[in-house]
Amino acid sequence: MRNLLLQLFLAAIVGYATARYAVQSTPPPTTPALPPLPPAQQPATPPTTKVPPPATAANAAGAALSVSFRSAVERAAPSVFTVHSARTVSRGPLGLGGTALLAEGLGSGVLIDADGDVVTNNHVVEGANELEVALPDGSVRKTRLVGVDPYSDLALLKIDANGLRPIQLGDLSQVAVGDVVLAIGNPLAVGQTVTQGIISALGRKGLDINPIENFIQTDAAINPGNSGGALVDTSGRLIGINSAILSRGGGSEGIGFAIPVDLMQKVVASLKKNGRVARGFLGVSTMEPQNGQSGALVAALEPRGPADRAGVKPGDVIVGFNGSKIDNPEDVAAATLELEPGTKVTLDVLRRGDRQDIQVTLGTRPPPQQLQRR
């Protein structure tokens, strides 16, 4: 009996083990694989698109700072030279002892045409008896002084222009305050240098720098040696001849002045034709009227001068000149200097409260030194 129970127990164990092994070894049901999609039906990966950063003031400023004026410099710089001037005297009898150097100066000049005409400032060459023009590569060209105009502070030199490229002239009517400009010259004798700024003002007058003032004002750095150099626009076109600065210490403080290209062209035309510029002469000495009145008070007259002969009297207040309003004495001087001798002008004058027109024929203005002696 015990043997029978033992056999039944062993049989149960064997059956349980067999059934468990069968469950573990049975593979799970498989799902048939789907055929691949044809190429045209494959899902496409969306392309990645570079999204630009949003427009901000910082982005705009960065773009502006990255602008290069290389092309303007490449066009204009080859036409801007260095002008060396010297004043010498002979030593010994008949100059047998050689020469002694009394003074020397350095400025800049601009080749304006293929004829070899180089424009610079009068104060660059004033009093000099020896002149040289040095090109950007350091070579020197023989130089001749054609003429000077102290009233506009311009001078015209002549060189051999063979192999040289004149600068392109700009149109001042297309120039406005805020335009970017470049000043090219040889400041402090360091070599050709380009500085950048904007036009700060146009038609600047009343500075007591030149008898004729109609300056382009700029904050481009201008220093001694820049005088006579080029002020150009961002296309490399000449819009002015750098002439002067206002400075407490003698260096650039961001207030520089250039003679506009249209005035330069008029002066050059006269210098090429006559070697000088004949300017009108009214023959009056004027001052500011009293009580804040606008106009030019006639303080004195040149005896038998144009205004004296026409009937202008001391104490008259000139308030108009050929139909243009006169605000101050500088306006009378500037209007007269821009006209040629023999020009007939109409003065609008206040005399003891009465207004009248006086016709004057301009004379020929004497040289500056003769006026100063008077």
Q: Tell me the catalytic residues.
A: 123, 153, 227
CA 119 to chain centroid: 16
Q: Which two tokens stand for residue 102?
A: 């009394």
Q: Given the structure tokens 């207030």, which residue do they identify?
A: 255
238 neighbors 167 (Cβ within 8 angstroms) = yes
C-alpha span between 332 and 63 (Å, rounded): 47
C-alpha span between 120 and 194 (Å, rounded): 17
Using the 8-state DSSP alphabet, how is residue 169 labeled?
A: B
Element (H, E) at 372: helix 368-373
307 neighbors 360 (Cβ within 8 angstroms) = yes
Amino acid code (one letter) for 161: A
Q: DSSP assignment of 54-86, as one string?
A: PP-HHHHHHHHHT---HHHHHHHGGGEEEEEEE
C-alpha span between 60 and 55 (Å, rounded): 7
Q: What are phi and psi of 336, to 5 degrees?
A: -70, -45
CA 65 to chain centroid: 18
Bridge partners for 158 per DSSP: 117, 144
